[in-house]
Amino acid sequence: GEAVPAAQKSSWTSFLKSLAGFTGDLSSMTAPPFILSPTSLTEFPAYWCERPELFAMIADGKTEEDRALAVLRWFISTLKGQYTSRNESMGSEKKPLNPVLGELFYGYWPESKERGGKTTLVVEQVSHHPPITAYRIANDAKGVVLTGHNAQKTSFSGGSIIVKQVGHAVLTVALPSGEKEEYLITLPRLRIDGLWYGSPYIELAETSFIQSSTGWLSTIEYKGKGYFSGKSHSFKATVTPANVSQSTHVIEGTWHTTSKDNRTNAQFHDVTTPKEEVTVTSIDEQGEWESRRLWHGVAKGIREGDFDSAAKDKSRIENEQRQRRRDETAAGTKWELKHFEHIDSCPVYERLGKMFSANPPTEDAYVYLNNGPDA
């Protein structure tokens, strides 16, 4: 473990040992301080929109094909942020703070000429055990809205953590004609490598899909070192119209840099340029359930290397949560979600999932209640 501080070598080794026999909820496992991130998982949905102009531009596509490609371009362009940004900012993947039930994260990207309108983000932790995060991102002026939820099933194999993402996202585009186009987005599998050395990083694996209500389907295959091009973070996406198996576009490249459309040889995406992080109100203006306010003491301890005070404040938060759950049980009440309503079967997943034989054939979802801070 080269990246492991000398004083934490043995606790890292025992952490890895406990991983080996592990199935279930990784997020609740105690890990040594050097691997802790001061950021809660409720902040992660912001990665979907760090290139807000690509999100907005989906609405500008003139044809069904143009829009299918624009959705794919936006999606691929989010992957670098989603899966490599902790390595860039903190030197390796780190263990995020495990959100509490009801934790909130609000933010926005200001309006600009290129993107038409302000883009808003509403995130709520809708389950603690297992952890499930629901989110909604909207550029109302453009009529582009993304709603989704995220959970993970983790296991350990061959020295790596394998993460199956559970959940999906739905993107809707309100067209000038008054019609609404929908896109069902499934999520890739992750492998967390580099654990032995104490410098974890993510590689994506297998296949994810973007199915449009127009019939256009993007199939994205992910490979690491030694496949396709031989490079890490490689992908190959095929884009096909309804009822046609011959693909119209094949796009290849590495998702953390650039890619090309094989047919035209034109560049397809480029994320070597700066991204734009979400704007969030200052902590003293936040409500008590808002992520950065709620975790303030813990995050400060982690950032400043004061792990005792971080651990103390984390225990305080966890004890408060346990007490709340006990009180609810005693009173026969249930925690009420604030911005989302749970449904057992997502109608968009049902309808669009059939078009590419999605597995599983149905999934639950969280419907946005239209009551975010900007509503």
Q: Which residue ranges make up the site for ligand 0T9 (CB under 6 A)?
A: 26-27, 31, 35, 44, 47, 82-83, 93-96, 150, 152, 161, 163, 165, 192, 200
Burial of 339 (0-12, 13-18, 19+ CB in 10 A): buried
Coil, strand, or helix at residue 44? helix
Question: Judged by CB, which is closer to ligand 0T9: 27, or 211?
Answer: 27
Positive or negative: CA dihedral 355, 359, 360, 364: negative
Q: Which is nearer to ligand 0T9, 155 or 281 (CB)?
A: 155
Nearer to ligand 0T9, 130 or 226 (CB): 130
- Identify which of residues 116 and 200 has a Cβ nearer to ligand 0T9 in the complex: 200
Minimum CB distance to ligand 0T9, residue 97 (Å): 10
* Diameter of the chain measured on Cα atoms: 65
- Closest approach of Cβ 157 to ligand 0T9, in Å? 14
| DSSP character at residue 182 | E
In whole angstroms, how close is the CB of 133 to ligand 0T9 at the nearest point? 7
Cα 347 to Cα 49, 299, 354, 367: the distances in Å are 24, 39, 11, 11
Q: Omega of the bond prior to 110 within 30 degrees of 0, cis?
A: no
The smaller minimum CB distance to ligand 0T9, of residues 152 and 286, is found at 152
Provide the Cα torsion 194, 196, 200, 205; round to 10°: 50
In whole angstroms, give the CA distance from residue 156 to residue 15. 12
Contact status, residue 151 vs residue 131, Cβ threshold 8 Å? yes
Judged by CB, which is closer to ligand 0T9: 74, or 216?
74
Query: Of the two residues 141 and 162, which places its CB atom closer to ligand 0T9 in the complex?
Result: 162
Residue whose CB is nearest to ligand 0T9 in the complex, by number: 95
The residue (of 117 and 131) whose beta carbon lies closer to ligand 0T9 is: 131
From the CB of 51, what's the least distance to ligand 0T9, in Å? 15
Closest by alpha carbon to 123, among 348, 357, 294? Answer: 294
Q: Taking the complex as a whole, how short is the minimal distance between the CB of residue 350 and ligand 0T9, in angstroms? A: 23
Do 288 and 294 contact (CB within 8 A), yes or no? yes
Q: Supply the minimum distance, in Å, between the C-beta of residue 108 and ligand 0T9.
A: 18
Q: What is the rounded distance in angstroms from the CA atom of residue 220 to the CA atom of residue 237?
A: 4
Cα gap 324→345, rounded to integer Å: 29
Shortest CB 189 distance to ligand 0T9, Å: 10
Which residue type occupies 358?
Answer: A
Residue 342 identity (one-letter amino acid): H
Q: Closest approach of Cβ 152 to ligand 0T9, in Å?
A: 5
**C-alpha span between 123 and 340 (Å, rounded):** 9
